[in-house]
């Protein structure tokens, strides 16, 4: 008949007569079907045994041929952290046994005092106490995770609240400027209509039109960022001749470059051909980067635009030799309303790069910047290539 045992004990004891005595205690009729015992003489044998079988409890003699005293505990706990350990000690080792409990053992027994009931009671206690400690540890870990998650949520909520406050403040500031221009120009037209020449009136009207255009652009960009943040920004892939599309974009910004007597250089490498792209997202990305490269370059400079077709990706590289971006500003460059400290009076909303990054992410790519003040800036966009 095969008897099934519920509790497996690993006894580590080099004293064979004492090991047999403990085995007799365990195998008494009252407990023979509850426990099974495996005996080894050395710590090394025990560590090997623990890699091969599962045990419920360890009985450990603190004096072994290959390990002495508390040095036996760390290897055992490291090998089997969830298995309770009951240490066996001689009378003069009682203080050592107490220290062993402090270091992770669940209980200790003085050898000369051990009897069957005491041994069984100690083993049961050690198992129950270890299970309780493991349960508490699991609960504590779960609570710790929940506390960390909740803390992260609160921090994020605070950051979102702070960002919204800053966002509203910056938006109000950026809208106020064109509004002031409109109010000023309209007031001059109203109060000095008869005294103003036709040319002056046209200039004031042009100022109003330009301010309204700037406000409309700012509100469109804010709306675009809002859609992107609310996950409404989709990627609609259609067949597109990428090289021809990029040529067209270059021609669209050439007038802006001509005004500053700048040279635009466009080059393509690799096999591009027909592929699937979101034309709207591409236009947002490349138009913003090309316009910025021209805007922040000195008159008479050069802007180089390259597209490089690879097996699974296309790299877009836009390089200028302009004012560059300070290192500290690069950390927050893709956040809305953020502009570098060295832009001076160069106009801008601080939304272009934030929009470009949102579009790059919606297209499943990444955008990187490499810049040095007074040397220039290179933006590199990598997007997945989906061939037809």
Dump pLDDT digits (tens) for 96-152: 878 888 888 888 888 888 888 888 888 888 888 888 877 777 877 887 888 788 777
At which residue do the structure tokens 């760390």 appear?
74
pLDDT at 321: 92
Sheet holding 274-277, edge to edge: 238-241, 274-277, 386-387
Cβ atoms within 10 A of the Cβ of 25, count?
18
Q: Where is pLDDT greater, at 47 or 32?
A: 47
From CA 347, how far away is CA 295, in angstroms rounded? 9
Cβ atoms within 10 A of the Cβ of 290, count?
26
Assign 303 a pLDDT band (cuts: 50, 70, 90).
very high
Q: Phi first, then psi: give them for residue 35, nearest 5 degrees.
A: -125, 150
Question: Would you state the structure tokens that stand for residue 178, as one six-digit string?
Answer: 């064109």
| pLDDT at 176 > cutoff 70 | no
363 vs 77, 224, 385, CA distance in Å? 50, 15, 10
pLDDT at 100: 85
Which residues, including other chains, have CB under 8 Å from residue 149's CB and lie 6 or more apart? none
Question: Would you state the structure tokens that stand for residue 40, as one six-digit string?
Answer: 């080894």
| pLDDT at 4 > cutoff 50 | no
| pLDDT at 47 > cutoff 50 | yes
Report the mean per-residue pLDDT for the chain: 82
Do strands 67-68 and 63-64 pair parallel, antiparallel, or not at all (unpaired)? antiparallel
């Amino acid at each position: 008949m095969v008897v099934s045992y519920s509790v497996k004990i690993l006894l580590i004891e080099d004293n064979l007569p004492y090991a047999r005595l403990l085995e007799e205690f365990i195998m008494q009729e009252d407990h023979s079907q509850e426990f099974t015992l495996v005996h080894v003489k050395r710590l090394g044998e025990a560590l090997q045994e623990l890699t091969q079988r599962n045990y419920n409890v360890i009985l450990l003699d603190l004096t072994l041929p290959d390990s002495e005293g508390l040095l036996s505990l760390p290897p055992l706990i490291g090998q089997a952290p969830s298995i309770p350990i009951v240490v066996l000690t001689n009378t003069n080792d009682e203080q050592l046994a107490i220290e062993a409990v402090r270091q992770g053992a669940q209980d200790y027994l003085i050898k000369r005092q051990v009897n069957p009931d005491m041994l069984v009671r100690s083993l049961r206690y050690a198992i129950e106490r270890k299970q309780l400690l493991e349960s508490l540890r699991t609960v504590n870990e779960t609570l710790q995770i929940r506390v960390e998650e909740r803390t992260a949520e609160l921090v994020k909520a605070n950051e979102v609240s702070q960002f919204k406050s800053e966002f509203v403040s910056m938006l109000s500031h950026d809208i106020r400027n064109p509004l002031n221009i409109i109010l000023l120009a309209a007031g001059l037209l109203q109060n000095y209509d008869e005294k103003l020449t036709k040319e002056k009136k046209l200039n004031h009207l042009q100022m109003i039109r330009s301010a309204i255009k700037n406000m409309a652009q700012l509100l469109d960009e804010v709306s675009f960022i809002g859609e992107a943040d609310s996950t409404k920004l989709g990627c609609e892939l259609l067949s597109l001749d990428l090289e021809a599309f990029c040529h067209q974009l270059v021609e669209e910004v050439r007038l802006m470059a001509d005004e500053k007597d700048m040279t635009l250089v466009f080059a393509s490498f690799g096999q591009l051909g027909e592929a699937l792209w979101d034309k709207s997202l591409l236009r947002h990305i490349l138009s913003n980067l090309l316009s910025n490269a021209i805007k922040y370059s000195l008159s008479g400079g050069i802007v180089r635009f390259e597209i490089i077709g690879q097996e699974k990706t296309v790299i877009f590289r836009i390089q200028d030799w302009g004012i560059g971006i300070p290192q500290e500003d690069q950390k927050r460059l893709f956040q809305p309303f953020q502009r570098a400290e060295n832009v001076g009076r160069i106009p801008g909303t601080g939304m272009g790069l934030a929009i470009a990054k949102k579009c790059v992410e919606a297209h499943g790519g990444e955008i990187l910047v490499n810049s040095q003040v007074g040397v220039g800036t290179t933006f590199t966009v990598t997007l997945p290539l989906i061939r037809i």
